[in-house]
Amino acid sequence: MSEANSAIGSEVIDQVLEAGRLAPSAANNQPWKVTVQGAQIRIYADPEHSNSFVDIDQTMAFTSLGCFIEHLVIACRALGVVHTLSMQQWSGFADPVAILTLSSGSGARMISGSDQRLFDLVRTRCTNRLPGDGRIIDAGTMKSLSEAVASAEVGIRISTVSDPDEKARIGRILGRVDRLRMVHRQLHEQMFKDEIRWTEEDAELSNDGVDIRTVEDEVAIRSYGALRSHDAVLATPREVLEAGTPAMFSTSSHIACLSTSGAPSRERFLAAGRSVARLFLAAAGLDIGMQPWTVLPYLHVRAAHHGGIGFSREECDAILAADAEARQVFGIGPAESILLYCRLSRSRAPKVKARRRTLQCIVKREP
């Protein structure tokens, strides 16, 4: 440990880790764990929290890890801690994804107001799954959100649609994929059995997963309940299963898509995650509700890059077609990767907060 490192107090390291702990993650599965040795934080993907069918290549886990890493970085900047983030070659769960080294060297007091503001929002931000009022977000606010996306990672770009016909079109496309997710037995089981916490007690017990109460919209909660059994899904007409997404999108202000050039890779999804974290925080600071709507990019990785393993030919074709049509809506070419879709909306702030695992669960301290 260097002299500079030894000057970093454990309470500062804990504040940085706490910001990471509160990061958003897909299905709230918090797929991270860290070891702390002196002032060095080694960040790992947690295999027990990165094993969903949706996530064939850990692309989803890496998006969430990007959010985790960005929260750590925001905390360092806001606390005036000099830090070096070194991304690592990753070939399996034994490898760290990244190493963050803190020190109290020169420059430690250059704290930017914008990082301070984002850091303040780490505790209060949350996913907003409520219907919006459909009002367009003004150009100045949208510019701030685009800047938040770009400020985390060079090369991640946000495209948005707000025209009612375009929102309806992307809603229909993603609605087809959402239906497929319910009809596919394994995907249904993972979502309805593994991800959703149906009672407050279950949410408290695991401190992860999607607490059904965080959906907050009574209509949506009832329809999730009605589709809890796979047999009920199979008995429900296609048009009913596909209708929820366009209905929700029509209440949104904008539908956004994050993309980058090049083929999809874990590194690119991680970069997107860093932008997603900043977008979430910036949106919270501007009173804009944000809800990722993400299953298509991950299923597309399986369909296009892993031979569609686990899907029927028909399911695979449906995913490829949905991806191609969504690209048209957002003007994204075949050589680019789509990394995330999300809704941006104006609606009241949700009241129920998602839970997180404790620092003790995710941090191993090494001598």
Ligand X SMILES: Cc1cc2nc3c(=O)[nH]c(=O)nc-3n(C[C@H](O)[C@H](O)[C@H](O)COP(=O)(O)O)c2cc1C
- In terms of Cβ atoms closer than 10 Å to its own Cβ (0-12, 13-18, 19+), residue 120 is middle
- Longest Cα–Cα distance in the chain: 66
In whole angstroms, give the CA distance from residue 103 to residue 106: 9
**354 in contact with ligand X (CB under 6 A):** yes
Minimum distance, C-beta of residue 283 to ligand X, in the bound complex (Å): 11
The DSSP output letter for 11 is H
State which of positions 92-111 bind ligand X (CB under 6 A).
none
Q: Which stretch, 93-101, 247-255, 258-266, 291-299, contacts ligand X (CB under 6 A)?
A: 291-299
In whole angstroms, give the CA distance from residue 216 to residue 354: 12
Minimum distance, C-beta of residue 1 to ligand X, in the bound complex (Å): 33
State which of positions 234-253 bind ligand X (CB under 6 A).
none
Minimum distance, C-beta of residue 23 to ligand X, in the bound complex (Å): 8
Q: Which stretch, 182-190, 232-240, 292-300, 320-328, contacts ligand X (CB under 6 A)?
A: 292-300
**170 in contact with ligand X (CB under 6 A):** no
**64 in contact with ligand X (CB under 6 A):** yes
**198 in contact with ligand X (CB under 6 A):** no
CB 330 within 8 A of CB 341: no
CB 367 within 8 A of CB 38: no
Minimum distance, C-beta of residue 354 to ligand X, in the bound complex (Å): 3
Minimum distance, C-beta of residue 28 to ligand X, in the bound complex (Å): 3
**279 in contact with ligand X (CB under 6 A):** no
Strand partners, 291: 343
Minimum distance, C-beta of residue 178 to ligand X, in the bound complex (Å): 9
Q: Which of 8, 13, 19, 25 binds ligand X (CB under 6 A)?
A: 25
In whole angstroms, give the CA distance from residue 220 to residue 205: 24
- Binding to ligand X by CB under 6 A, coded x per residue (else -) over 113-142, reads -------------xx-x-------------
HEC string of 351-366 equals CCCCCCCCHHHHEEEE
Q: Which stretch, 63-71, 105-113, 163-171, 300-308, contacts ligand X (CB under 6 A)?
A: 63-71
Minimum distance, C-beta of residue 358 to ligand X, in the bound complex (Å): 15
**20 in contact with ligand X (CB under 6 A):** no
Handedness of CA 232, 238, 239, 241 (dihedral sign): positive
Q: What share of the chain is helix, strand, coil (3-state, %, to 5)?
A: 50, 15, 35
